[in-house]
């Protein structure tokens, strides 16, 4: 029950963040935006590293990168240390796009926290954030934490 409620709440909050940030109007899928965000943060970066960061297949990364290249948001160049590999970098317009989306999300969350979370609940919110961060970082691949 708790897991279901948490999943539902996170799904609703993600949808709200997408709407409030203006994400729907940019014409890119969630996956493409996630890949673009990783290129902005990590670039120059290989497609293999992006696949690892995004927890998706190399084929999925290749599809997203093709769309992002066609839109002029990313470009590739040979790796100076290994010319067989390509490094992906973000166009300045991509950085601006990601910054605008993140600013929209932050502005909504700030307004929502100020409008909905009472002063005496702020410490509870901080504790919840710590718990969510731990859940996001959990490595259960060996059966334990």
The shares of helix, strand and coil residues in the chain, as percent rounded to the nearest 5, are: 70, 10, 20
CATH of the domain at 66: 1.10.10.10
In the chain, the number of structural domains is 1
pLDDT of residue 112: 95
Q: What is the pLDDT of residues 63-86, one digit of tens each?
A: 999 999 999 999 999 988 888 889
With respect to residue 35, please indicate whether it lies within any of the assigned structural domains: yes
With respect to residue 70, please indicate whether it lies within any of the assigned structural domains: yes
pLDDT of residue 143: 56
String of b and e for 106-118 (b: at least 16 CB within 10 Å)?
eebeeeeeeeeee
Domain hosting 63: range is 2-137
pLDDT of residue 98: 95
With respect to residue 145, please indicate whether it lies within any of the assigned structural domains: no
Residue 68 CA to residue 50 CA, distance in Å, equals 13
With respect to residue 29, please indicate whether it lies within any of the assigned structural domains: yes
With respect to residue 143, please indicate whether it lies within any of the assigned structural domains: no
pTM (global) more than 0.85 = no
Angle 118-104-3 (CA atoms, 0-180°, nearest 5)? 60
Q: Which residues of the chain have pLDDT under 70?
A: 142-145
pLDDT of residue 18: 87
pLDDT of residue 79: 87
* φ, ψ of residue 45 in degrees (nearest 5): -145, 150
């Amino acid at each position: 029950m708790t897991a279901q409620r948490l999943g539902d709440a996170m799904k609703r909050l993600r949808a709200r963040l997408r709407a409030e940030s203006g994400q729907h109007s940019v014409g890119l899928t969630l996956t493409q935006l996630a890949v673009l965000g990783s290129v902005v943060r990590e670039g120059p970066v290989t497609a293999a590293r992006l696949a690892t960061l995004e927890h998706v297949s190399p084929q999925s990364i290749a599809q997203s990168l093709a769309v992002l290249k066609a839109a002029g948001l990313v470009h590739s160049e040979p790796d100076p240390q290994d010319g067989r590999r390509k490094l992906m970098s973000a166009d300045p317009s991509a950085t601006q796009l990601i910054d605008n989306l993140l600013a929209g999300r932050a502005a909504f969350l700030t307004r929502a926290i100020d409008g909905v979370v009472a002063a005496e609940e702020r410490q509870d919110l901080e504790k919840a954030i710590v718990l969510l961060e731990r859940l996001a970082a959990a490595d259960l691949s060996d059966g334990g934490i």
